[in-house]
Amino acid sequence: MSNTITTVEPVAKGRRKRNSAILTDRHCLKRVEERTKLYDRKCPGLYISITTAGVATFSFKFTDRQTGKQRTAWLGVYNPETFKVEDARSKVYGLKGMGGTALAETFREHKADKAKRGKTVAEIIEERIDWMKTPVRKPDGEMRPRLEAWEETARQLNRFLRPRLGKKLASEVTKHDIATLSNDITKGLFGRPSVSNARHMRKATSGLFNWAAEAGRDYVTASPCINLPKLDPEHPRTRVLTEDEIRILWHGLDRHELMASWDRRTRLALKFELVSMLRSRELLGAHRDELFDLDGRTARFDVPLKRVKKRRVIQQPLSDLAVEIIEEALRGSNKQFVFASPLGDQPLHRKAMADALRGDKRKGVVRTPGICQLLGLRPFTPHDLRRTAATLAGDLGFDDTVIAKCLDHAVTKKGDVIVPTVTGKVYNHSKRMKEKRAVLDGVALELRRIIGEPTVEAVERPDLRFAA
């Protein structure tokens, strides 16, 4: 018959015996020291290729009658759950039944599919990172990376996923692989045990495989991050500074001799976060052009959307205490950034405040004591200053919805009434400036009351220099 397919076995008889067997699933699980091919005696043309990483791939070798050339059709990767030896045999029998011409036509599809499905996790990580950091035009007209937080996502992929699964074919990664990696992160096999790191790894990995499964890429048929076991809940941070701690911190930041290791503008930025309730990333990039009416009664700071978590412009009223901090930061400076780096006319690094509070440690040894240690304060983070300011506002009796506006949180509830999210996103574009100014002015007055006089601990106790 013209459609007959002749299987080609271009090896000598003696070698054929050494490289052929009645394939079983156990052959697919065999460990080898170099790439090995093993032909199936039961189904001529079918063979497996086993890599040193333990990956077994099924292929079908045949002769194209029209060209007389030998072809190889890629069938798939062995999977004990979804694609076993019998599945591969059934696929070969089906291909033989198509006839030579039809099979030759599908060969090109198999070849293209192999190129896609044959990509390793490391390869798609590289493509994903290139895709994320590609500049695109944003709503404000600027060209910025497609995913502006791409560096953190790339860090998660490179730190956790690449070392463990980088050499594995993306199409063969299973739910069990991701779950095992999560467990190992929480057990501390990648450093300090961390549920948070496991959660961030899952988020980055899920984004990677969803992207890889999109039409046009088809590197995988589905994401392996579906229905993973739930991680233990993370307990939200609740650290709020007491009045005594606020007083010690505020006056301690002004002790230049004690704080000689930490730049003055870094210390002022810590004060500003407490007074303004803004996030570190939002305030550290403050530029002179973003400040308005500092000499008037409606002073404000406009944070462009590119620095805002929710990618929306923030108009934050500035209290007189906030203006004082800004004026001191700008005094004697010709730089354009309020909290400029000592290295040049550029903002302080996004981790500058956190590093200053925590100090510099290497292998558990303190090289430069942090502000918390120098002042004898229980450790806290810059974000805890936002929480402290919000707590002060709540204690003063301000409504949670207005405090949420000062924090740039979405407001979906007013008292006991649920407010549709779409109302704030689409219809109501009010910045609530009067209400926000009342909150921030109230917080400033309360801070002035708290820091009215330096405490004995903050001024007269030299042993605070060495407090643990």
Smallest CA-to-CA distance from 157 within 220, 194, 208, 217 is with 208
Query: 274 and 358 share a domain?
Result: yes
Query: 405 and 378 share a domain?
Result: yes
Query: 150 and 75 share a domain?
Result: no
Question: Residue range 357-373: average pLDDT?
Answer: 87
Identify whether 396 is part of a domain: yes
Question: CA–CA separation, 197 vs 237, rounded Å?
Answer: 16
CATH code of the domain covering residue 78: 3.30.160.390
Query: 112 and 130 share a domain?
Result: no
pLDDT exceeds cutoff 80 at 292: yes
pLDDT above 90 coverage of the chain, percent: 62
Query: 253 and 157 share a domain?
Result: no
Smallest CA-to-CA distance from 452 within 302, 181, 251 is with 251
pLDDT recorded at residue 149 = 87
**Which pair of tokens denotes residue 406?**
């000062």
pLDDT in tens, 160-207: 999 999 999 998 899 999 999 999 999 999 988 999 999 999 999 999
pLDDT in tens, 66-89: 677 787 888 889 998 889 999 999
C-beta of residue 292 within 8 angstroms of C-beta of residue 283 = no
Question: Residue range 377-391: average pLDDT?
Answer: 96
pLDDT recorded at residue 465 = 37
pLDDT exceeds cutoff 60 at 31: yes
Question: Residue range 144-157: average pLDDT?
Answer: 93
pLDDT exceeds cutoff 90 at 112: no
Query: 162 and 295 share a domain?
Result: no
pLDDT exceeds cutoff 80 at 331: yes
Using pLDDT thresholds of 50, 70 and 90, give the confidence band for residue 103.
Answer: low
For the chain, the domain total comes to 3
pLDDT in tens, 387-440: 999 999 999 999 999 999 999 987 655 555 554 554 444 444 456 899 999 999
Cβ neighbour number for residue 78 with a 10 Å cutoff: 23
Q: What are phi and psi of 366, to 5 degrees?
A: -75, 120
| Beta strand 46-50 pairing with 56-63 | antiparallel
pTM over 0.85: no
Domain boundary among 91, 117, 143: 117
Query: 143 and 206 share a domain?
Result: yes
For residue 64, give its domain range: 13-117
Q: What count of Cα atoms within 13 Å lies in the side-chain half-sphere of residue 83?
A: 17
Paired with 291 in beta bridges are 301
**Which pair of tokens denotes residue 125?**
């990580």
Identify whether 232 is part of a domain: no
pLDDT recorded at residue 375 = 96
CATH code of the domain covering residue 282: 1.10.443.10
Using pLDDT thresholds of 50, 70 and 90, give the confidence band for residue 365.
Answer: confident
Question: Residue range 95-114: average pLDDT?
Answer: 64
Question: CA–CA separation, 82 vs 74, rounded Å?
Answer: 16
For 186-202, letters b (16+ CB in 10 Å) and e give beeebeeebeebbbbbb
Question: CA–CA separation, 219 vs 209, rounded Å?
Answer: 9
Average pLDDT taken over every residue of the chain? 85
pLDDT recorded at residue 180 = 95
SS (H, E, C) 164-189: HHCCCEHHHCCHHHHHHHHHHHHHCC
pLDDT recorded at residue 388 = 97
Cβ neighbour number for residue 340 with a 10 Å cutoff: 22
Query: 48 and 163 share a domain?
Result: no
Query: 110 and 142 share a domain?
Result: no
Residue, of 217 and 15, whose pLDDT is higher = 217
Lowest mean pLDDT, pick from 234-243, 307-316, 336-345, 452-461: 452-461
Query: 207 and 107 share a domain?
Result: no
pLDDT exceeds cutoff 60 at 302: yes
Residue with tokens 């590197």: 219
Q: What are phi and psi of 44, to 5 degrees?
A: -55, 135
Query: 199 and 316 share a domain?
Result: no
pLDDT recorded at residue 321 = 96
Identify whether 346 is part of a domain: yes
Sign of CA dihedral 246, 250, 256, 262: positive
Paired with 317 in beta bridges are 300
